Amino acid sequence: MNGTQVSLDNPKSLSKLSDDDFQALLLEGVSRTFALTIPQLPNELYGAVANAYLLCRIVDTIEDEVSLSPEQKRYFCSEFINIVKTGVNSEPFAVELAPLLSEQTIPAEHTLIHVLPRVIEITHKFDPAQVEALATCVETMAQGMPIFQAQDLSAGLSTLADMDRYCYYVAGCVGEMLAKLFCHYSPEIDQHRDQLLKLSVSFGQGLQMTNILKDIWDDAQRGVCWLPQDIFTEVGFDLKTLTPETNDENFRTGLEHLISIAHEHLHNALVYTQLLPSNETGMRNFCLWALGMAVLTLKKIKQNLHFNDSDQVKISRKSVKATIITTRLIGRSNFMLSLLFNTVSRELKTPDWNYSLPTSTCNPTDIDAPEGTLSSTDSQTQRTNHV
Q: What is the pLDDT of residues 229-285, one digit of tens each?
A: 999 999 999 999 988 888 899 999 999 999 999 999 999 999 999 999 999 999 999
With beta carbons less than 8 A apart as the criterion, state whether 355 and 231 touch. yes
| Residue 135: burial class (beta carbons within 10 Å; 0-12, 13-18, 19+) | buried
Beta strands in the chain (DSSP E): none
pTM confidence score:
0.89
Q: What is the pLDDT of residues 54-112, one digit of tens each?
A: 999 999 999 989 899 988 999 999 999 999 999 999 999 999 999 999 998 999 999 99
Q: What is the pLDDT of residues 139-187, one digit of tens each?
A: 999 999 888 877 888 899 999 999 999 999 999 999 999 999 999 999 9
Mean pLDDT of 130-147: 95
Cα-based distances in Å from 56 to 53, 77, 344: 5, 11, 31
As a whole number of angstroms, the distance between CA 305 and CA 122 comes to: 44
DSSP string for 207-244: HHHHHHHHTHHHHHHTT---SBHHHHHTTT--GGG--T
Is residue 358 pLDDT above 80, yes or no?
Answer: no
Name residue 157's beta-bridge partners. Answer: 228
